[in-house]
Amino acid sequence: MPLPYRVVRRRAETADTASFVIEPLDEALPPFRPGQFAMLYAFGVGDIPVSVSGILPHRHRLMHTVRAVGAVSTALYELGPGDTVGARGPFGTVWDTSRAAGGDVLVIAGGIGLAPLRPLVYEVFRAPHRFRRVQVLIGARTPGDLVYRDETAVWAAAGPGGTALTVDRPDAGWAGEVGLVTGLLGHARFDPPGTTAYVCGPEVMIRATARELVHRGLRPERVLVSLERTMRCGTGHCGHCQLGPLLLCRDGAVLGYDRAAPLLATREL
């Protein structure tokens, strides 16, 4: 059963995307880790899986970022301070940083795919001594689709590798890179055998980015991707999120590309 959480803060990210922070009204869910997701319930409408985009120890608060694309996500997008939402979780696998220790880290996001990666960015930035270089590469369709604009400006100066942004369609005020996020890899500095990459975004972007990383020398098992399928129960019982032999709510959504590649290569799987 979902536990009741209250919205304590809301921030508009884009014209159709908002982030909100929730805290438990009474009992709190077990601790979340970067890469995991919650099933968020908009009362009277339904529930959907939403990756945790912020883990705040104070009062067991969680941050989620939602784009309004359907009935439930629109209801969540419209929540404001004081409103109540139901939450279940944590579900899913995590962004494992243990394998990245001592090497370079690439965080590569497409659009709102930056939301599940945001807790990972803060985790690696909090322990710079553990990694050699940390680089965050972000792509979006337009400048107006970029999320966390104030934070990414800080990230650009925070990490030893920096942050780079690109858009597919620039507007008159855009002075940055133009093109696909894979184009940023040509400017990134990393040692492929010792690099771990974390990739999230639209599936076509994930496939193209993962292939390019492997082509540049990364081992497939060190390219971690987060896949998306329709989820209903979050516990591996309903079967809606099946991807070949996997149930992504239970076995994912974070997978090594060595496991994901053959599944993504099968049409309509």
**Could you check whether the bond before residue 128 is cis, i.e. omega within 30 degrees of 0?**
no
Strands 84-91 and 3-12: antiparallel
Average pLDDT, stretch 62-87?
Answer: 97
Least confident interval from 103-112, 152-161, 207-216: 152-161
Confidence grade of residue 159 (pLDDT, cut at 50, 70, 90): low
Residue 239 structure tokens: 């079967």
pLDDT reported for residue 195:
97
Q: What is the DSSP letter of 143?
A: G
Residue 88 has φ and ψ, to the nearest 5°, of -125, 150
Residue 98 structure tokens: 């243990």
Confidence grade of residue 241 (pLDDT, cut at 50, 70, 90): confident
Residue 202 structure tokens: 């639209």
Angle at CA of residue 251, ends 249 and 257, nearest 5° = 115
Q: Which residues pair with 9 in a beta bridge?
A: 21
Alpha helices in the chain (DSSP H): 71-77, 114-126, 149-158, 203-215, 248-251, 257-264
With contact defined as beta carbons under 8 Å apart, do 206 and 213 qualify? no
Average pLDDT, stretch 180-204?
Answer: 94
Angle at CA of residue 87, ends 83 and 88, nearest 5° = 175
With contact defined as beta carbons under 8 Å apart, do 119 and 52 qualify? yes
Residue whose token pair is 């709190």: 28
Residue 133 structure tokens: 């270089």
With contact defined as beta carbons under 8 Å apart, do 48 and 9 qualify? no
Residue 57 has φ and ψ, to the nearest 5°, of -60, -30
Nearest CA among 170, 111, 118 for reference residue 140: 111
Average pLDDT, stretch 213-237?
Answer: 91
Share of the chain above pLDDT 70, in %: 99
pLDDT at 153 exceeding the cut of 90: no
pLDDT reported for residue 232:
80
